[in-house]
Amino acid sequence: MKKIKVCHLTSVHRYTDNRVFFKECTTLAENGYDVSLVAPGVEDHERNGVKIYGVPANTNRFKRVLSTAFVHVFKKAKALRADVYHFHDTELIPVGLMLRILGKKVIYDVHENNPGAILSRAYVKRKWVKVFLSKSIYLLEKLSAGHFSAVVTARPDITELFAKHKPFTVRNFPVLPNYDTIPDIDIPKDKPAVIYVGGMTEIRGLIELIKAFEQIDNAELWLLGFFGSDDFEQRCRALDGWKNTRYLGSVEADQIFSYIKKADMGIVTFLPVPNHITTLANKPFEYMACGLPMVMSDFDYWKQFFKDSTLYVNPADENDVAEKIKLLLSDPELMKSMGTKNLELTRNEYNWQLESKVLLDAYDFVLKQ
């Protein structure tokens, strides 16, 4: 039988985005779909059975919306003549609507609470502009969602925002590696390592986290990911806590587990901005998949979800961050029992192998329309 052609679209994410490529596109290819991915700043090639098509990248947000999204992504998408289009960025909503007008099946994948997220974006300087953009995005999503074949969301609180459209909640649980065969990495290590993996931005609590390590000399902070800007990286490097910090750069999603497994503790100290307090970030689940104990922000939503899989901390207080890290490091039995429990939870519940079934159900639903 002829394979069903699926085309994923992004004008913002790297083609190797964990959710877009390693989880969704790869899963669909493994389940018999003919999968393409249109993404910015990459050469055309094939990987994991997915055909990747590059479009020009643009760092200017206004030009990116007008050029990359409206022109290049739409042009490439139309040329690929897919049966189902699956897009990942709010700025591609007009492209999704145009594809619907052309009679195509279209899925909108909502990664975050977009109206809430814009309120904490550092690149928007004026508060009134943030409020205006937040309300505009809210209206755009509300008015357009009903026109798409399906809405997929990354977490339950986003699902509630689109409840009338009966979205499919496809959570960002990790693609589990074989724990025993995770490759070792050659990093010298003479003291316990506390690892943070993810974007390096101020609202993710990096300043307070590095400051906490001014007070911790018996452990080292490992940072793995991209800095939001050169200016912010220099601010971080200028802090006294950088003496106990090791920046490991950034690696692709399928290489992250080697670094996490070598660490002794995972940490996520996001600050309490609107899009964080109900998020289900990738990284806690990746720490858990490697059997690590954790320290996390004391958001009510996280306390209800993660329960005793972690210690909780006020992320805006570097003293509290330091004390909780030292407390966990001082209790080897707690670290071991927490890590063992976390490993079992990911094997039995919090993993992509189980969550991917919801994605496949969404495609069955769309194809029956």
Has residue 1 got a pLDDT over 70? Answer: no
What is the pLDDT, as a whole number, of residue 15? 93
What is the pLDDT, as a whole number, of residue 340? 96
Assigned domain for 134 exists: no
Assigned domain for 42 exists: yes
pLDDT above 70 as % of the chain: 97
Rounded to 10°, the helix 332-348/282-289 angle is: 110
**46 or 63: which leads in pLDDT:** 46
Has residue 254 got a pLDDT over 80? Answer: no
Assigned domain for 116 exists: no
Assigned domain for 234 exists: yes
Taking phi first (over 0 means left), then psi (-120 to 50 degrees means alpha), and beta for anything else, what does residue 125 get?
Answer: alpha
Terminal alpha carbon distance of the chain:
19
Assigned domain for 133 exists: no
* Tally of domains in the chain: 2
What is the pLDDT, as a whole number, of residue 178? 79
Residues 241 and 254 in one domain: yes
* Strands of the sheet with 150-153, listed across from one edge: 45-47, 50-55, 34-40, 5-9, 84-87, 105-110, 150-153, 168-169
Angle at 45 between CA 43 and CA 46, to 5 degrees: 150
Assigned domain for 341 exists: yes
Residues 99 and 241 in one domain: no
Question: What's 246's DSSP letter?
Answer: E
Residues 159 and 290 in one domain: no
Has residue 121 got a pLDDT over 80? Answer: no
Residues 167 and 236 in one domain: no
C-alpha span between 338 and 150 (Å, rounded): 38
Residues 184 and 318 in one domain: yes
Assigned domain for 282 exists: yes
What is the largest distance, in Å, between two alpha-carbon atoms of the chain?
A: 63
Has residue 62 got a pLDDT over 70? Answer: no
For residue 181, name the pLDDT band (cuts at 50, 70, 90).
confident
Residues 257 and 340 in one domain: yes
Q: What is the CATH number of the domain that holds 274?
A: 3.40.50.2000
Residues 233 and 107 in one domain: no
- Helices marked H in the chain: 26-30, 61-63, 74-80, 93-101, 114-117, 127-145, 156-161, 206-212, 230-237, 256-262, 282-289, 300-306, 318-329, 332-348, 352-367
* Amino acid code (one letter) for 253: A
Question: Cβ-count burial of 208 within 10 angstroms (0-12 exposed, 13-18 middle, 19+ buried)?
Answer: buried
Assigned domain for 135 exists: no
What is the pLDDT, as a whole number, of residue 273? 86
Residue 300's domain spans which residues? Answer: 179-348
For 66-92, the pLDDT digits (tens) are 777 778 999 999 999 999 999 999 999
**88 or 179: which leads in pLDDT:** 88
| Mean per-residue pLDDT, 8-18 | 93
Residues 72 and 217 in one domain: no
Residues 327 and 363 in one domain: no
| Mean per-residue pLDDT, 29-56 | 96
Residues 47 and 76 in one domain: yes
Residues 291 and 321 in one domain: yes
Residues 105 and 213 in one domain: no
What is the pLDDT, as a whole number, of residue 194? 98
